[in-house]
Amino acid sequence: MKYKIVSDSSSNILSFPKVPYATVPLKIITSEKEYVDNTALDVSRMVAELKVVKGRTQTSCPNVHEWQEAMADADAVFALTITSGLSGSYSTAEQARKDLQATDPDRKIAVIDSLSTGPEMLLLIEKIAEGIQAEKPFEQIEAEVRAYQKYTHLLFALESMTNLARNGRVNPVVAKLAGVLGIRVVGVASQQGTLELLYKPRGQEKMLSTLYDEMKARCYAGGKVRIAHCFNEPAAKGLAARIKKDFPNADIEIGLTTALCSYYAEDHGLLVGFESRSRAQ
Ligand code: X90
């Protein structure tokens, strides 16, 4: 049986060599062009162009056809999506599953709503990949990743919420308040898969200690950490150093956001996925 993981590009993981893997791209649309979230895109150029572009900008999720194409060459597929609370990606992936199974009922497809995005999705991808490599049965891998999701979290620190607010992904009043005051925000992906703002720390140092304190408050105890940043390596490394001070052996990896997360997290934004010791409340 050929297993495959298919993730939408909000995971920031466009290639994953350990197992058969593909991404389906989200897109960023401006009055001038469409940026497709794939390996061909120059993200730093996109971020620079977005700062000066005129008019409305928006995003779109992968369509049913794109999901189907990515799922079609395997008999057992784990499809992973950005939270259904903020995007239509889960719905289009589900529709692709139904259409494929209508013509081929034996095809195994599990569509998993991450209720999150970015590096929390990477943790789920890694969990599924371990199951595939250990040659576990499909249903067992699915059950294990769904159970694991209860122990993973996503925190984020943003310097601007303009694109989130303009596209209706966060309460505009809250975003405006934070934006006008030029204040950073630290927030969390809620259990319902929506964006929840927690703090407005002043300055990068305070932002990092707030993030780490919040990880510990959510029962981080030395597990895996995956950090994705939009051109803010110093902050990512600063957080990693704080964690390593308490947990020298912690498995921490740092990577860049690709197009979708760069658009919404904006320049210098930080996304932190981590494992906790106890189940989410
Ligand atoms: O379907 C679409 O057009 C995509 C919409 C995506 C909207 C939200 C993306 C958030 C990216 C920002 C901070 C983390 C928020 C976590 C919330 C669960 C990253």
Domain ranges for the chain, please list them.
Answer: 3-150, 151-275
Does the fold of domain 151-275 match that of domain 3-150? no
One DSSP character per residue, 147-166 reads HHGGGEEEEEEES--HHHHH
Instruction: Report pLDDT for 264.
Output: 96
- The answer to whether the CB of 171 is under 6 A from ligand 1 is no
Long-range contacts of 170-179 (CB under 8 A, 24+ apart): 170/195, 170/197
Q: Which of 82, 152, 271 to mutate to test the pocket of ligand 1 (most atoms within 8 A of CB)?
A: 82
Print pLDDT tens along the chain (281 aa): 899 999 999 999 999 999 999 999 999 999 999 999 999 999 999 999 998 998 999 999 999 999 999 999 999 999 999 999 999 999 999 999 999 999 999 999 999 999 999 999 999 999 999 999 999 999 999 999 999 999 999 999 999 888 988 888 887 777 777 665 567 899 999 999 999 989 989 889 999 999 999 999 999 999 999 999 999 999 999 999 999 999 999 999 999 999 999 999 999 999 999 999 876 64
Q: Which residue's structure tokens are 């950090």?
A: 227
In degrees, to the nearest 5, what angle opens at C-alpha 44 toward C-alphas 24 and 186? 80
Cross-strand pairs, 150: none
Q: Is the domain 151-275 a CATH 3.30.1180.10 member?
A: yes
Instruction: Report pLDDT for 280.
Output: 61
Beta-strand runs (E) in the chain: 3-8, 21-24, 27-29, 34-36, 58-60, 76-81, 108-113, 152-158, 185-189, 195-199, 225-229, 252-256, 270-275
- The answer to whether the CB of 114 is under 6 A from ligand 1 is no
Instruction: Report pLDDT for 171.
Output: 77
Give the span between the Cα atoms of 165 and 170, in whole angstroms.
Answer: 5
Q: pTM of the predicted model, to two decimals?
A: 0.96
Q: Are 73 and 2 in contact (CB under 8 A)?
A: yes
Distance 153 CA to ligand 1 centre (A): 15
- The answer to whether the CB of 169 is under 6 A from ligand 1 is yes
- The answer to whether the CB of 211 is under 6 A from ligand 1 is no
In 3D space, the residue among 239, 208, 236, 226 whose CA is nearest the CA of residue 275 turns out to be 226
Instruction: Report pLDDT for 181.
Output: 58
If one looks up domain 3-150 in CATH, what number appears? 3.40.50.10170
Instruction: Report pLDDT for 259.
Output: 98
Instruction: Report pLDDT for 11.
Output: 98
In degrees, to the nearest 5, what angle opens at C-alpha 197 toward C-alphas 203 and 47? 65
